């Protein structure tokens, strides 16, 4: 084997396998969305890591429209119905929901929970809406997708920008798209940074190569200017986050008086012991006006108490039937009731609630991703008002809000680094732009030194 051929085999770029000639795309898409769709169709297997409100639904539907064959779209509960409405708005074609595994035509959509009912051999393409479901490397749906759907030629994963320091999530996306197995990615680009499974650090010399490889199969965008477009209407209104602390007189377990929680276990106990105080404060705030609100909670007891205390509240809980949850989550978007009371893990993913600009968190977990996703249901493209976020905690909970704020700073810093590394590559890949090069225009005649003139070859 020639050395040049050896080097080519070592190159980690993922070769496109999609459509070469792309037809005219939907005029309702923005220019940056059209270019992303063109790129994804040419790739055949691609990931769109676009922040909340950047139009992932429209892009994935347009991508599916041009796939040469039938496409299965997987989405969280209630997002499927929202996607069907979006398809009608964009005039893309009829998207039909299937609960029993039967194919419904060009576009079939279902929930992740029903994936095992479907046969991969029936489809040419598959779309993962909210593909962060691939985050867990031992997850049921991740395993099913990698084992049974790897033969589908056209694959699209769409989610908000993945956790910047969660390289396992990137590895799972790469494996789903057939670019590289997660284990190979870790061995090639990373070193293990401690005893915990998830702690991996990019090798210093491999950083540029790693992000260039990621950019060969994924586009990462928080706003249009990240890939060289004008932000225009995508500049969001202000968001005001206010922390409201309620006082508790209840003694901490093992003490004669209240003590601020230190660890995760203590914070969980503090939340349970102050449910009534926090719910009363939330109800007081939400009942003070007639505007729409989303009230986020973390515990079942919080959810039930809030639903009783708040005027016009509709609770959507995990125990409710699937059809009820779907109808109520969509009903809130249609202004059918004033207050939605639910948990981020139920209603905090994929839904568009620009009709509402007020929310209250009565319970906060330590998950920044959960908090961020819940906030972005309202704070997204199309929102016309300042978004008001009330975070209601007790003085016993200690560092919960500070912990979220720290994670927010870390995530923002890492996301900035990620976009910085991928900006030029994504811009070149998506827009077909070449990097600026300084031309060479020699002005002085070259002269060889006398001692070199006498050297013979």
| 250 and 205 within one domain | no
| 169 and 293 within one domain | no
Q: How far apart are CA 103 and CA 422, in angstroms?
A: 38
Q: How far apart are CA 115 and CA 88, in angstroms?
A: 24
Asked if residue 286 is part of any domain, the answer here is yes
* Alpha-carbon distances of 17 from 42, 43, 123, 127, 288, rounded to whole Å: 7, 6, 17, 16, 57
CATH number of the domain that residue 247 is part of = 3.40.50.300
Per residue in 313-337, pLDDT (tens digit) is 999 999 999 889 999 999 999 999 9
Low-confidence spans in the chain with pLDDT less than 50: 1, 3-4, 6-11, 197, 251-252, 254-259, 433-440, 457
Q: How far apart are CA 440 and CA 435, in angstroms?
A: 16
Asked if residue 26 is part of any domain, the answer here is yes
Last residue of a domain, one of 233, 264, 279: 233
Q: How far apart are CA 389 and CA 399, in angstroms?
A: 18
Quote the pLDDT of residue 363: 76
Q: Could you tell me the residue range of the domain that residue 159 belongs to?
A: 9-233
Q: How far apart are CA 387 and CA 236, in angstroms?
A: 10
Q: How far apart are CA 234 and CA 57, in angstroms?
A: 16
What letter would DSSP give residue 332?
H
Query: What is the DSSP track for 28-81?
Result: TS-HHHHHHHHHHHHHSEEEEEE-TTS-HHHHHHHHHHHSSS-EEEEE-TTHHH
Last residue of a domain, one of 363, 386, 406: 406
Asked if residue 373 is part of any domain, the answer here is yes
Altogether, the residues listed in the chain come to a count of: 457
Per residue in 75-116, pLDDT (tens digit) is 988 889 889 999 999 998 899 999 999 999 999 999 999 999
Residue 398's nearest CA partner among 248, 240, 239, 242 is 248
| 241 and 143 within one domain | no
Q: How many domains does the chain have?
A: 2
| 153 and 89 within one domain | yes
Q: How far apart are CA 215 and CA 431, in angstroms?
A: 13
Asked if residue 254 is part of any domain, the answer here is yes
Asked if residue 206 is part of any domain, the answer here is yes
Give the tokens for residue 157: 């994963």
Asked if residue 412 is part of any domain, the answer here is no
What letter would DSSP give residue 160?
S
| 317 and 192 within one domain | no
| 193 and 77 within one domain | yes
| 257 and 201 within one domain | no
Q: How far apart are CA 371 and CA 286, in angstroms?
A: 19
For β-strands 358-361 and 339-342, DSSP reports them as: unpaired
Asked if residue 433 is part of any domain, the answer here is no
| 223 and 240 within one domain | no
Asked if residue 442 is part of any domain, the answer here is no
Last residue of a domain, one of 203, 233, 263: 233
| 145 and 36 within one domain | yes
Quote the pLDDT of residue 53: 87
Provide CB contacts within 8 A for 367, sequence distance 6+: none
CATH number of the domain that residue 205 is part of = 3.40.50.10810
């Amino acid at each position: 084997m020639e050395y040049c051929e050896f080097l080519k085999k070592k190159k980690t770029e993922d070769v496109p396998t999609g459509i070469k000639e792309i037809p005219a795309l939907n005029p309702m898409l923005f220019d940056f969305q059209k270019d992303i769709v063109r790129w994804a169709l040419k790739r055949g297997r691609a990931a769109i890591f676009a922040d909340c409100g950047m139009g992932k639904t429209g892009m994935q539907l347009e991508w599916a429209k041009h796939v040469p064959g039938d496409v299965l779209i997987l989405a969280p509960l209630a997002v499927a119905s929202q996607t069907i409405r979006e398809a009608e708005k964009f005039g893309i074609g009829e998207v039909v929901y299937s609960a029993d595994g039967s194919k419904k035509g060009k576009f079939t959509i279902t929930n992740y929970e029903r994936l095992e009912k479907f046969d991969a051999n029936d489809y040419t393409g598959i779309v993962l809406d909210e593909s962060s479901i691939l985050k867990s490397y031992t997850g049921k749906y991740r395993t099913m997708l990698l084992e049974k759907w790897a033969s589908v030629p056209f694959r699209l994963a769409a989610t908000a920008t993945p956790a910047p320091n969660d390289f396992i999530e990137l590895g799972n996306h790469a494996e789903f798209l057939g670019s590289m197995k997660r284990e190979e990615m870790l061995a090639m680009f990373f070193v293990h940074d401690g005893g915990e499974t998830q702690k991996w650090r990019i090798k210093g010399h491999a950083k540029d190569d790693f992000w260039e490889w990621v950019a060969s199969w994924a586009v990462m965008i928080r706003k249009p200017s990240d890939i060289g477009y004008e932000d225009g209407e995508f500049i969001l209104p202000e968001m005001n986050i206010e922390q409201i602390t309620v006082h508790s007189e209840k003694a901490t377990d093992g003490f004669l008086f209240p003590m601020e929680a230190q660890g995760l276990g203590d914070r969980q106990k503090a939340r349970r012991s102050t449910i009534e105080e926090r719910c009363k404060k939330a109800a007081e705030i939400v009942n003070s006006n007639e505007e729409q609100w989303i009230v986020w909670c973390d515990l079942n007891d919080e959810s039930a108490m809030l639903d009783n205390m708040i005027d016009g509240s509709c609770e959507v809980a995990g125990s409710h039937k699937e059809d009820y949850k779907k109808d109520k989550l969509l009903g809130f978007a249609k202004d059918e009731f004033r207050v939605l009371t639910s948990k981020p893990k139920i209603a905090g993913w994929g839904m568009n609630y620009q009709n509402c600009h007020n929310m209250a968190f009565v319970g906060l977990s330590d998950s920044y991703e959960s908090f961020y996703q819940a906030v972005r249901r309202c704070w997204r493209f199309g929102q016309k008002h300042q978004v008001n976020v009330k975070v209601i905690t007790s003085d016993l909970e200690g560092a919960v809000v500070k912990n979220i704020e720290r994670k927010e700073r870390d995530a923002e810093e890492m996301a900035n680094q990620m976009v910085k590394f991928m900006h030029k590559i994504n811009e070149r890949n998506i827009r077909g732009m070449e990097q600026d090069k300084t031309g060479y225009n020699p002005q002085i005649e070259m002269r060889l030194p006398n001692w070199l003139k006498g050297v013979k070859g």
